[in-house]
Structure 1
């Protein structure tokens, strides 16, 4: 059985204010051609399908057009989608009844039965071969929000031996969900059928990106152990981290994002992963490089004269349509403020088929300087900003219980985005 694993499409991403529909459309066209060429039996998309919980109509059209085209060209292809932390689980599941007619299974949330036990059956997706025989079971586990695994039903399921107020209550809840789902999968499988897990999570020891991944849980101990996936799971298809990598062993992998989502990802090997199963076991995995439809250049950091020389040397193709012109980040090291810096950089780019998205000025630090350093609010984040504000107001850092309350409020805001309608 042949599977293609991908994740973190982030359809609808606004890249420094610019839309990227042409790039995403080119990737999806390549992906569909690859599925046909490889005669794949299933496509696994491990979360962060969209970039925001309320994606634009154009971003949603990219997904649904792809699903329709995939079913037309590969009627036997099974597609399994799970929601990531950027997605609205409710939105991912909304068209699920229609998508099932196209062999597409959309899982956005976990649900609890009246007795407090996990509704595991709805998260088990049979994967069939060309003859329609079930060859594997997919344990399709969407991103688990704290409210879904630390609520009253989950606490009842844990019993009295768990401490409600423990800092790792969230991770404990995740562990219990994995355990129950694996138990249900083992009960359903028959000899010769493989188990394949999908998850959108941050595993211990995995390498994060420099700037582009949102913390999966505000303020919490967010990473989980690869030990949650026992040896009888043939393959683990992970999403959330944008750098393609295996975690500990070849069967546990992040496919990575198919496109760079930040200039810090420009050198990543963007790919999807082809997975071949033989019976209950993993036979092979192969990284399939994704062509980059739009080039991305990162110039500097360097003094201005060297930056200007590098810009002059950049190759471009004016015959390309504008939505294929390369993206450009320029980082300049300055000895003193230069008010006309942008004008000088733009003059060097005049006539070139390049799109300048970001210009970063780097001034030298002055030893013993009393003036406060300039704060980049985007990189600082709400939690650090709150800590600094509290310390300025009260003369001491906030205590642990205050931070815990703030973290819960932040998480409520993120989770509340799911109720917003476009």
Structure 2
């Protein structure tokens, strides 16, 4: 039996981009996705983590998600929506609304639970996918972002994160393989950084027991498709059936060239040749453009003046501009105003200006940057570390990021106590 589903991830609902809300852009994406659901009528929609941008999302972001689920259910009543928590999400929060999700044929897996015997609760992680006649056409193995506190301690082999991650995969895949019939597919959905994956500068480093990236060797050959989330660039990892769908909108200027998409997947497990697996990329229209302008001050001014003119009335629909100007002399006090004046009025948002010295002998630390984003904990720690006279130390940074991850988990626990 053929199973048809959409693979998407990393929505980051509620994100602010240099203090500007992305609500409009997300709304346009969700409306487009609803159209695809109505046309294609898939059996399932998989959202592979980072549904929200922060663990305590604003009510507006939550409303966007739940309104989308209601609208999707209206357009495809048989379709199931399966989502997992990413490192930006609160796993407990997205599971708390389970009664609401059930109304819309949706399910969220936020954390890895233990059963009454203290063993891995496989039933919560194995979700059947049905066709229109309520036949099981696939099993989805749902693995949210794996935090050490949730997955260690099952037995003497799971005392560290690396072994625990392997144990969780082994147990889940073995149970799924035992349950499936020959005409049912196995789909594994995970939010993780896999070895060989290409990152952008908007993705937070993931530290799990100082292991930054996982091996695809954990995915047994019985898995028909691996739906990954976390990396924002659409890409395959090693094999054609192991893929990141990527984010639906650019989450940083480094993602301007990304071909944002939703993947439409069809699997017929009864076929043994290449026809078993079919994939189509559904290109997501970009509702707000981003522009990176680089060069000398004169070149930057010329490029800004050459940009398209014509007012855009709503500020949240105006295009973003980032400038990197090259110079070996101090900037004029009114340089920002010169850049603003060169832009067509009421069409653009100049959100970032940075300077790069033409003289390559100038120490990188003298580079000045105007960045309207609040600094991350990693940036604050690195600045303080360097001010104390210490050099770069990957081990120290990894230890610090481990503490940040533990603190974030502690905040989630307190919020749900």
Residue 337 and residue 420 in structure 1: after superposition, are their counterparts in 2 closer, same or farther (change >3 A)? farther
Q: Does the alignment pair 1:325 with 2:318?
A: yes
Q: Does the alignment pair 1:341 with 2:331?
A: no
Partner of 1:255: 245
1:214 to 204, 211, 232: 204
Backbone CA RMSD of aligned residues = 2.5
User: How is 1:130-209 mapped onto 2 (pairs within 5 angstroms)?
Assistant: 130-150=132-152, 153-154=153-154, 157=155, 159=156, 164=159, 169-209=160-200
Which stretch shifts more, 380-389 or 73-82? 380-389
Partner of 2:379: 381
Residue 398 and residue 136 in structure 1: after superposition, are their counterparts in 2 closer, same or farther (change >3 A)? closer
Q: Does the alignment pair 1:289 with 2:283?
A: yes
Q: Which runs of 5+ in 2 are unaligned?
A: 370-374
Residue 319 and residue 94 in structure 1: after superposition, are their counterparts in 2 closer, same or farther (change >3 A)? same
Structure 2 Cα separation of the partners of residues 68 and 141 of structure 1: 24
The answer as to whether partners of 1:5 and 1:272 remain within 8 angstroms in 2 is: yes
Partner of 1:231: 221
1:232-271 per-position Cα deviation (integer Å, ceiling 9, x unaligned): 1110000000000001111000000010000110011111
Give secondary structure in 2 for the equivalent of 1:30: helix
Partner of 1:305: 298
1:177-211 per-position Cα deviation (integer Å, ceiling 9, x unaligned): 111111111121122100000000011111111x1
Q: What is the CA-CA distance between 1:379 and the residue it aligns to?
A: 9.7
Residue 407 and residue 389 in structure 1: after superposition, are their counterparts in 2 closer, same or farther (change >3 A)? farther
Q: What is the CA-CA distance between 1:218 and the residue it aligns to?
A: 6.8
Q: What is the CA-CA distance between 1:131 and the residue it aligns to?
A: 1.5
TM-score for both structures, normalised by structure 2: 0.90
Structure 2 Cα separation of the partners of residues 347 and 399 of structure 1: 43
Structure 1 Cα separation of the partners of residues 21 and 139 of structure 2: 37
Structure 2 Cα separation of the partners of residues 399 and 70 of structure 1: 45
Q: Does the alignment pair 1:101 with 2:92?
A: no
Partner of 1:77: 79
Q: Which runs of 5+ in 1 are unaligned?
A: none
Give secondary structure in 1 for the equivalent of 2:411: helix
Structure 1 Cα separation of the partners of residues 381 and 61 of structure 2: 30
Residue 304 and residue 280 in structure 1: after superposition, are their counterparts in 2 closer, same or farther (change >3 A)? farther
The answer as to whether partners of 2:235 and 2:245 remain within 8 angstroms in 1 is: yes
The answer as to whether partners of 1:120 and 1:181 remain within 8 angstroms in 2 is: yes
1:243 to 226, 233, 237: 233
Residue 280 and residue 183 in structure 1: after superposition, are their counterparts in 2 closer, same or farther (change >3 A)? farther
Structure 1 Cα separation of the partners of residues 205 and 324 of structure 2: 26
Residue 118 and residue 365 in structure 1: after superposition, are their counterparts in 2 closer, same or farther (change >3 A)? farther
The answer as to whether partners of 2:48 and 2:227 remain within 8 angstroms in 1 is: yes
